[in-house]
Amino acid sequence: MAFGSFDSKSATHTVSEINMVPLIDVMLVLLVIFIITAPLLSHSIKINLPQASAEQAKEQPKAIDLAVDDQGQIFWDDQPVAMDALKERFQVQARLDPQPQLQIRADLNTRYEVLAKIMGQARMAGIKHLGFMTRPLPTSGTPDAGAAAAPAAAAAPAAPR
């Protein structure tokens, strides 16, 4: 920044020097802060931590594949099962250690009532791990995306010019 002088004889001459005093003040404040905080950062409490092995668990919990079609028919690992038999099966699986994860695959047109009954029976039996399986949306590079976009484009009315 350039500042002018107050006396009349040097009114046309501007000073083009950087005022270093504010910069030095900021640097001194930062230096004091670092001098105070540096010993606090290096001070630590010495403790003896326990050692643990880094090997993976040998047994992976199994997953129960529960599929529901649009008619409400239930399939336990691709085998048809009645709604009444689910409670007993859930109770048996809930007692296992580690407890398996219940993965529900439901048709897009499945009634929510059927899914609510299944989830309620699983919860009452003690199943803790519940998941829903979905299919990812098709992207523009996959063959399904073109097939899905074609009927939508054919059904759309032409825009007036």
Say if residues 125 and 92 touch (Cβ distance below 8 Å): no
67 and 121 housed in the same domain: yes
Residue 39 is predicted with a pLDDT of 80
Task: Provide the pLDDT for residue 8.
Answer: 57
Please state, in angstroms and rounded to a whole number, the distance separating the CA atoms of residues 105 and 148: 22
Please tell me whether residues 75 and 114 are part of one structural domain.
yes
* Domain contains 28: yes
Per-residue model confidence (pLDDT) at position 135: 81
- Domain assignment present for residue 98? The answer is yes
One domain, residues 32 and 89: no
Q: Are residues 30 and 89 in the same domain?
A: no
Distance CA 5, CA 91 (A): 91
- 94 part of a folded domain: yes
Q: How many structural domains compose the chain?
A: 2
- Torsional sign, CA 134, 137, 138, 141: negative
DSSP structural state of residue 109: T
**What pLDDT score was predicted for residue 43?**
66
Range of the structural domain that residue 18 is part of: 12-41
Terminal Cα distance for the chain, rounded: 59
| 117 in the same domain as 68 | yes
88 and 27 belong to one structural domain: no
Cα dihedral 19, 25, 28, 33 sign: negative
CATH of the domain at 89: 3.30.420.270
Q: Please give the average pLDDT of every successive group of 10 residues along the chain, which has 161 residues.
A: 57 77 94 88 70 69 88 91 92 89 90 92 92 80 48 38 36
Q: Are residues 74 and 126 in the same domain?
A: yes
Label the pairing between strands 130-132 and 101-106: parallel
67 and 126 fall within a common domain: yes
- Is residue 152 domain-resident? no
Would you say residue 5 lies in a domain? Answer: no
State how far the Cα of 130 lies from the Cα of 136, in Å rounded to an integer.
Answer: 19
Query: Residue 141's pLDDT is what?
Result: 59
Q: Are residues 78 and 128 in the same domain?
A: yes
Query: Is 50 domain-assigned?
Result: no
Do the domain assignments include residue 148?
no
CB contact set of 131 (below 8 Å; sequence gap of 6+): 101, 102, 103, 104
User: Is 145 part of any domain?
Assistant: no
